[in-house]
Amino acid sequence: MRHGVDSDVFGKTAHSPSFFELARKMGDGAQHMVDFCIPCNPYFPTPQMFASLADNLEGILKFYPSSTDAIAGQLARTLRLNPATIAMSNGSTEIITWIDHLWIKESVAIPIPTFGRWTDQPMETGKRVDMFPLQESEGFELNIDAYLKFIRARGSKVAVLCNPNNPDGGYLPRREIIRFMDELADLDLVIIDESFIDFVEVERNPSVVSEAMIRPNVVVLKSLGKNFGLHGVRFGYLVANPALAKRMATTLPKWNLNSLAEAFVFMLGDHLDEYGESLVKLSMDRYRMGMELSRLPELQVYPSQANFLLVKLAPDVDGVELRDYLLHKQQVFIRECGNKLGMSGQFVRLVVRPEADVDRLVSGIRSFGNSRWEMERPSLVS
């Protein structure tokens, strides 16, 4: 098939294949692919920012970047944070890896389903991973008191909490996260993953970074790629008290940030208004997209405060079948959740995108339903 993709490309990892891997497989079809899989901000950076980066691309790629301290210092000034509380990394997964090596010595508690590296990384290094299952019957909502009771019963030494959570977009109020940190002041470490916190609209200042900086055992993880729509640059950062932040910063490799990341960090301060506008647009898209998907009787859409929506398919619909159909027939790429711990192939995660892209997704889902109905309809010709 001209635009076909072998399904085994999805079996190589617990995560989805990259856009580039799919594009190479799809050939000409990749030019028209719409990505509902990778959580990205479609409105930021702006076209003008990309043009500026393009104009300076030769210099950006030819020369060494500045020191990580210089880049982190600029980010701290832009975000109005104390630079002593920041450690920057080549993607949030680099920090997750080093958190595991530095601070997870015996065991870690993690609600599931959640971002896969929080379970996979410590299991790969032989740690005990205490998985707290979020219940579908409760909309995958995390009950803080039940999770705290689980952590104490298991004797976990480290606890992780993602807010909002991936893949369901569930959000807990800031006061609940602070209570969670206070209740676990005796643990080796408490990790709050705020990779999607900027997309929250139900609370004005949802982040707990200011609280983490004054606690001896709390780190907050941030992912600039997810917020700013630049996954390919690979940059994230940790916020913690100066002692924890310094230990992470001195452990990370020298020059672990590239020149493209540096160029973006230094231009970010001039474009914070555009970034704020992008979040407003995305919030409106999330509402519209949820409404459109909810009109399809075969879908159950979960409320979300992230830049994606978790969707449950009808009992007779297989997520892999829908994913492959949309990719092969419509050049629409979605995230099927069958390989996520705590989920099944009856769930898919759909990234929030502009209205025209959502129309294409909805049309593809309807076409998939019609094709299945045609296949199952009894023939009237004997």
* Burial readout 324-333 (b: 16 or more C-beta within 10 A, e: otherwise): bbbbbebbbb
Q: Between vectors from CA 262 to CA 260 and to CA 266, what angle results, nearest 5°?
A: 120
Dihedral, CA atoms, 323, 326, 332, 333, nearest 10 degrees? 10
Residue 73 to residue 50: CA distance in whole angstroms: 23
Tally of helices (H runs) and strands (E runs) in the chain: 15, 13
| Cβ(99)–Cβ(191) below 8 Å | yes
By C-alpha distance, which of 347, 339, 279, 281 is closest to 310? 347
The torsion angles phi and psi of 271, rounded to 5 degrees, stand at: -130, 25
Tens-binned pLDDT, residue by residue, of the chain (382 aa):
334 555 555 654 556 676 667 777 766 666 688 999 999 899 999 999 999 999 999 999 999 999 999 999 999 999 999 999 999 999 999 999 999 999 999 999 999 999 999 999 999 999 999 999 999 999 999 999 999 999 999 999 999 999 999 999 999 999 999 999 999 999 999 999 999 999 999 999 999 999 999 999 999 999 988 888 788 888 899 999 999 999 999 999 988 999 999 999 999 999 999 999 999 999 999 999 999 999 999 899 999 999 999 999 999 899 999 999 999 999 999 999 999 999 999 999 999 999 999 999 999 999 998 877 555 555 444 3
The alpha carbons of the chain give a radius of gyration, in whole angstroms, of: 21
Cβ atoms of 61 and 259 within 8 Å: the answer is yes
